[in-house]
Structure 1
Amino acid sequence: MNPTVNLRPLEEQTIVITGASSGIGLETARMAADRGANVVLAARSEDALQDLADEITAGNASAEYVAADVSDRDDIREIVATAEDAYGGFDTWINGAAVSIYGRLEDVPIEDMREQFETNVWGLLYGSIAAAQHFKNRGESGAIINIGSIVSDRAIILQGSYSASKHAVKGFTDALRMELEEEGAPVSVTLIKPSAIDTPYPEHAKNEMDAEATLPAPVYAPETVAQTILDAAEHPEREITVGGGGKGMILLDRIAPGLLDTLMERVFYNQQRTDEEPTAEHSLESPSEDLETRGGYEGHVADSSLYTRLRQRRGLTGTALAGLAATAAYAGYRALRGRRDGPPDERERDNSSETTTRPRVLR
């Protein structure tokens, strides 16, 4: 990690958050404001942002907002200008805006995939470059936090274009980090990789399947990701996976990718589908107007991740981290095999506290 970076305490920071009107971005905005940070909120829905800004200022915190589409570089410049006019700049930039699509690759219109990449990849690229230039021009330390996914490492069936976009996010983030470190710029660049999170992700997705989409288990609360993001805003981190289930899937892919392919094909395909008919509503073309952090997931949601909490402890040895990773890999394997290994009561006793009795694919 870049030794020239010295990040401020959260209560002394101004934080820019794109995708602030729902899910992880919304939870992060509320949590950052509660902890004393100034927040600059960005999303496509001006009404939702106005409501959120009013909520935050009513709690004696400070918030500004910009109705912006991150795929438009001029809108990114407007976010930067708003932060500079209101607070003299910003200390952390969080790229959280993203759109999702479910369906076989052959069934998803190419135009929809391109639009998805405009937001998930180009929007994040525009924001990261603008933030890096801001920090270098100001000559003070800052943090760029990019929200990837466990599918930044491992593609998932029925979410192929989303997986591809998050692979691109990881590649860009890693390259940007190296370049900033090489020139000695005082910028921390972090990639956050959430597992499946109970947000409106499936409800907002463009769905080309013949059934309603759902989340895979184990599923974690959005607060788990928000806490991880804000920790990275104060303490430089390279990359963090949120959720032991997701870490286990990544490690299983490294150990036995063919086995994971088979599990994807035989188990994950059906585990991302419900028995309900799909709805036509989605946020690919129009934003949601509701301030919702949670989605409609009907299974158990883990309120915390032991793996992620321990991963963020300073001073853990490599041996300890290796042990955590091995434990996560086994937990992930058990979660994937759970439905075929025995009745629900038996699975619940066998699995760790981070798994659920409705194993589904990890996001």
Structure 2
Amino acid sequence: MRAKLKPLDQQVVVVTGASSGIGLAAARAFAKAGAAVVLVARNEEALREACAEIEAAGGRAHVVTADVGSPEDMARVTRAAVARFGGFDTWVNDAGVGIYGDSLEVSLEDHQRLFQTNYFGVVHGSLEAARHLKERPGGGVIINIGSILGDMPSPLMGPYVASKHAVKGFTDTLRIDLQRQGAPVQVSLIKPASIGTPFPDHAKNYMETAARVPPPVYAPEVVADAILHAATHPVRALTVGGAGRQLVATYHAAPRFADRLFGAAIPRLSIRKEPKPADDSLHSPSQDGEARTDAYGSRPFSLYTQAHKQPGVVVGLALLGLAAAFAWRNREAIRDGAGPLMRQGVERLPWTRRTGTPGGLQTTLH
């Protein structure tokens, strides 16, 4: 049974990780589109600031201070959404933390904590959402925020990469299990490339200098737009950022070459020549409240993502490409036959008639 996807102005949406970055951008976008939003994160102060901003603009929002690593906290989010808005239609699992450092340097404690948030946070949120949406008339949508790093490796981010591979595997399997049960629940996976959020400054950093995401960098609002699209359209998976899709394609087409390329280039592109922040958000909340970073710019659009949100455009472009390829491969035959073909075409036009003049054709308008 398919979920009956409601217009955004009729939805209640839960967004975890809503105190900064993609989560904050998505919460703002949902509220602007008319949805009621339940904001979830560990930083209560940042959540209340976001809530006040949304309500000042005429939106509806509710704050739940919670840790996605705790299943009890996620159950409390559901109870709060039911009490405040009567339930929810879409649940976005965005909360995540990062670690920058060589895999041999990262402590097991840090590695485990990252998985508690990035993987088990998605598991706790997804299971809680699935139980609610299975019983909700019309069902709803679970949107998990993965990464292109769920499809490829990246040096200096071993635990993070592993967690995103795990998120992809869990999301794809959850989708199948819900389909087998006939549950009216859509499960979507959004896979951002490099996004210009404060994520690198919030990450635990084993390096000597500040971290960054490799260019090209896309704005968090581009991801937010993809999330809103998944809340109202049948989306299985959607990559945000054409550059990221190219990296994934390179890795799968030539993994040995990609290993060397990534190993040589990505570490140099992942550092800023600035002192690293004194704290991080791995084990406790850090400075939140911003969707974007001011350390570097970001692209406000992705043609690749926009095209894949509109399958008709993709099919049209593919057909156009095939036509162009066919024309190029047969250019000599087309050129040689262009004269006769043009002549035959003109003879068939409704405003021409054959005459006895030397040229054989006379053009008349009628």
Provide the residue aligned with 2:332 in structure 1: none
Provide the residue aligned with 1:260 in structure 2: 258
Provide the residue aligned with 2:284 in structure 1: 286
Q: What is the distance in 2 between the residues matched to 1:323 and 1:49?
A: 47
1:173 aligns with 2:171: yes
Q: CA RMSD in A?
A: 1.6
More RCO (CA 8 Å, sep 6+): 1
Q: What is the distance in 2 between the residues matched to 1:322 and 1:64?
A: 47
1:264, distance to aligned residue in structure 2 (A): 1.2
1:29 aligns with 2:24: no
Letter in 2 for 1:42: V
Note the 1:59-138 alignment, pairs <5 A. Answer: 59-138=57-136
Letter in 2 for 1:101: I
1:68, distance to aligned residue in structure 2 (A): 0.3
Would the aligned equivalents of 2:55 and 2:61 in 1 still touch at CA under 8 Å?
Answer: yes
Provide the residue aligned with 1:275 in structure 2: 273
TM-score of the two chains, using structure 2 as the length reference: 0.85
SS across alignment from 2:40:
strand
Provide, for residues 74-113 of structure 1, a one-character-per-residue CA deviation record: whole Å limited to 9, x for no partner: 1101100010001110000000000000000111111001
1:289, distance to aligned residue in structure 2 (A): 4.2
Would the aligned equivalents of 1:311 and 1:321 in 2 still touch at CA under 8 Å?
Answer: no
Provide, for residues 20-55 of structure 1, a one-character-per-residue CA deviation record: whole Å limited to 9, x for no partner: 000000000011101100000000011111111111
SS across alignment from 1:191:
strand
SS across alignment from 2:210:
coil
Query: How many residues were matched structurally?
Result: 321
TM-score of the two chains, using structure 1 as the length reference: 0.85
1:45 aligns with 2:78: no
Note the 1:1-363 alignment, pairs <5 A. Answer: 4-298=2-296, 300-316=297-313, 320=317
For the structure 1 residues 197 and 321, does the alpha-carbon distance in structure 2 shift closer, same or farther, using more than 3 Å as the test? farther
Structure 2: gaps of 5 or more residues:
322-366
Q: What is the distance in 2 between the residues matched to 1:146 and 1:196?
A: 17
Structure 1: gaps of 5 or more residues:
325-363
SS across alignment from 1:219:
coil
Q: What is the distance in 1 between the residues matched to 2:265 and 2:318?
A: 29
1:253, distance to aligned residue in structure 2 (A): 0.9
1:139, distance to aligned residue in structure 2 (A): 3.8
1:304, distance to aligned residue in structure 2 (A): 0.1
Would the aligned equivalents of 1:189 and 1:236 in 2 still touch at CA under 8 Å?
Answer: no
For the structure 1 residues 265 and 289, does the alpha-carbon distance in structure 2 shift closer, same or farther, using more than 3 Å as the test? closer
After TM superposition, which residue ranges in structure 1, 4 or more long, deviate above 4 angstroms?
A: 316-324
Would the aligned equivalents of 2:16 and 2:93 in 1 still touch at CA under 8 Å?
Answer: yes
Q: What is the distance in 2 between the residues matched to 1:321 and 1:25?
A: 33
Provide, for residues 178-231 of structure 1, a one-character-per-residue CA deviation record: whole Å limited to 9, x for no partner: 111122111110000000000001110100112211120110001100000001
